[in-house]
Amino acid sequence: MRGQNVSLVVGKFCYNDEIAAIPVTLKGSGIDSSNDKPHLTWAMAEGVAPFKSNEMLTGDYSTIKFQPTEIELTVEFLEWEDQD
């Protein structure tokens, strides 16, 4: 999957005090997400692990909506190293 080009539709920005994510709709990419709510983790507070975006998207968060837009990108992963 790494290095594969995919098409996604984005339409809102979700955030709380710790983390921010952009939910996505996968468009015919052949990629399945293991997350209940597929998303791109966008930003994290210092010491917050990226997987916390999964928890945020199932709880309380603020949202900024925008015109749904299709984007194309290449799948990459950054390995998380615990800051402790």
Report pLDDT digits (tens) over 8-30. Answer: 999 999 999 999 999 999 887 66
Please indicate, yes or no, if residue 25 is contained in any of the structural domains: yes
What is the structure's pLDDT at 49? 92
Please indicate, yes or no, if residue 13 is contained in any of the structural domains: yes
Please indicate, yes or no, if residue 37 is contained in any of the structural domains: yes
Please indicate, yes or no, if residue 54 is contained in any of the structural domains: yes
C-beta of residue 17 within 8 angstroms of C-beta of residue 45: yes
Please indicate, yes or no, if residue 84 is contained in any of the structural domains: no
Could you tell me the residue range of the domain that residue 67 belongs to? Answer: 5-74
**Residue 11 Rama label (left phi>0; alpha psi -120 to 50; beta):** alpha
Please indicate, yes or no, if residue 83 is contained in any of the structural domains: no
- Express each pLDDT in 24-55 by its tens digit: 998 876 677 778 899 999 999 999 999 999 99
Pick 10 or 84 by higher pLDDT.
10
Please indicate, yes or no, if residue 9 is contained in any of the structural domains: yes
Place of tokens 């199932």: 58
Q: How many domains does the chain have?
A: 1
